[in-house]
Structure 1
Amino acid sequence: AAMDFSEVRERSAAREASGAERERATTGSPLQRLLDAALTITGATSGSVMLLDTEAARLSVAAARGLDDRIVRNARPKLGASVAGWVAATGEPLLLGDPHAMPIPRSPGREDVGSSLCLPVRGRGQILGVLNLNRGGQTRQFSEEDLQRGLVLAAVASTLIELTRHADQLQEARRQVERFRLELINAREDERRRIARELHDNALQSLADFIWQLTACKRLLTVDPPRVRGELRRLTRSLRSTIKEIREICQDLRPTILEEGLLPALQAYVAEFARRTGVAASLQWTGDQPRLRPEVESSLFRIIQEALNNVRKHARARKVRVHIAVRGGRLRVRVADDGVGFDPRVLSRASSRGLGVANIRDRAQLLGGECMVTTAPGQGTRVSVGIPLDAASPSAPAPRPGQPEGPQ
């Protein structure tokens, strides 16, 4: 039978009179507003929406009205352990008209309930939670028509839960994108400071010395011409050395050899690293050698470059090995040294950015991959990075930060 609208208005007015209770409730949430509408439509005097935590196999209250605060705070029933738990476990709705004829004992503190609707909330073939609606012992019991209305409301609750979760995921993705943006800005500023420091400490100082030496040679032209020739020879050697340093800085900024592919660029860089540092550095590539998107190849090059810079700055290593493997639809990079290692707890501190690990991790995540560092004092350090190849090929769209990689 259709509900009398005057009855609806009376019930709504009665609930509005409970101002203190409304202040305690989270009236702003979509699920709370849905629950309030469900109470009005079905004539229930109290109720709740409970969400299922699949990992813990427990329900928790996401919205409530007309229930004791202790019940709301403490209600975390296991699957099958209460009326709501039984509905969540079986997926079957319950219309409970006789409080003594329940398949599951009523929860403590709920003896005043005369009739209940407990309805499963489904989404994409899974149980998302439970919609509970109650009437006090002095009101009429729920009917089959109320059950049908409740099932419609449970379907609406399912849509709201799905939309809320998608909104939460979108918000988290936005926060992650913003964090990555700030990390990239910081990394870019760190790189600019490093370049400025290298130019100031080496190339610019050398150029200042050249000016001084040329000025000295100008004075010597009239006093000791043979000595000028020797000074000019020394000046020429220094100038060539400075030009080489500037070329190395430019090569670090954008290795032109990357245009030939990642492997040739890494072979050249690892060989140059060994020559510069005296560390025995080796490179091994196993599996296919696919061409990747330019930005992916550049990022992988930077990851290995950063890892080798860490070896040079911190490891005091004699040997370092770079191993790249392509298998199972993934490209894996491992940089392992035999250096002094460090306490892995340092990685959780703000100072870990000085180790370059944060930059490596950020670059890996931007490629849809992950980074793991294995180390211990006196046992060397191993940096491992893995990225999905399906998102790295030249024809694939760039992955979003935090985007799931699909089944492994």
Structure 2
Amino acid sequence: MTLQRLKWVSIVAPILFIVAIELARRVIFRDLLSGWPGYLLLAGVILIGVLFFSETIFNVIDRTQERLEQTNRELLALHEAGLDITGDLRLDRVLQGVVDEARGLVGARYGALSYLDEQGVIEQFLTSGTEPEQHSTLGPPADSVLGNLAAHAATTDNPDGQPAAQSRLAVPIAAHGVVLGNLYLTEKVGTFEFNQTDGETLARFATQAALAIENARLHHQVRELAVAEERERIAREIHDSVAQVLGYVNTKAQAAGALLDAGEIERATVQVGQLGQAARDAYADVREHILGLRATGDADRPFVETLRLYLETWQQQSGIRVALVIDPSDRFEASLPETGELQLLRIIQEALANVRKHAGATHATVALGLGTGWVEARITDDGQGFDPVASARGATPRFGLTTMRERAEAVGGLLTIETNAGEGTTVEVKLPMGARRGETVRRGEH
């Protein structure tokens, strides 16, 4: 009974009761209800009617309140489940979170999710509450199904150790008219049968799940696109670098050949030695570029994990000890957009490349931190440093400082250099949380 009907019943029922009592007193039982015995009997009837009416109304109110409380609990659980699946942008974790949360939301023993690619073919199949060998009992249905759809009856003795599907509940997960996957559950705990409320709850959750999956999918695509653009740019850098080295090698080889023809062995030996050094430098540069490509190759790997793996390999290749300093309570994955993470990683790589090539350092440190609205990174070394004033006048190479600064400004950040000859170098970069491509924040020229 709805509240509107309850209001009308509470008004009409007492009126009808009073009319009936008055009719009985004046017409039907006029002689019987006269005098004190009649008045007492009438009072008893009225009291019984009032008690019956009150009990009925209170029962209806209690049932309505229970339904409202149950609905509130379901909505709260649905809200919490939605928050859980939207708290991560990695597609694989979002998909697993969807099937786990759905199973707990309606009290299902087993659950599964078939995730479809753009052609509608199952790309991933994830389960919850099952072992991998049990997947065959949870074949994905095409439409929403309520009730008993068991292919075979439940048994207590299952030789294959597989769950018997007593009932199955399934909904499609769709966003903007495109089906992203199918979510389905089997065996409701306690009753085995799903009801209409379970179906409605799962359908509402599927709407939230579709948004979370679509968001994670777009995040994955944007990151892959950014990685592809970065890899193409690095490939051009390698090409230009190799072309420059080959030109240098060609010049030195011709000079060495001419000196050998002239019989100037010592000068030719110097030229050959320079050739060897150029080849070793080029080899180190190419290895460093390849390492950078590998570091940005996995679009789903968390930023801190990517950086840690890069530093470990860089230390092995360069022979320079490097330490990563980070507060474990900071959540960098939730602080920067995809382009910001990629640019920060490339700035750190470029700074470490300068350490290897020019600093003459034995130790470097990469420190990450979260400031007020900023993500900060400091790259320090114990090398020879350089004179920034002389560098600004062009007396010494700029060591890629312009490139690093442009990378920071491209995502709305800023970069500063602290160094003096013989005192090491500190590169500090700050990127705004939620930075977007094209936003620029300047704090003056450095």
Q: TM-score range by the shorter chain?
A: 0.3 to 0.5
Max Rg structure: 2
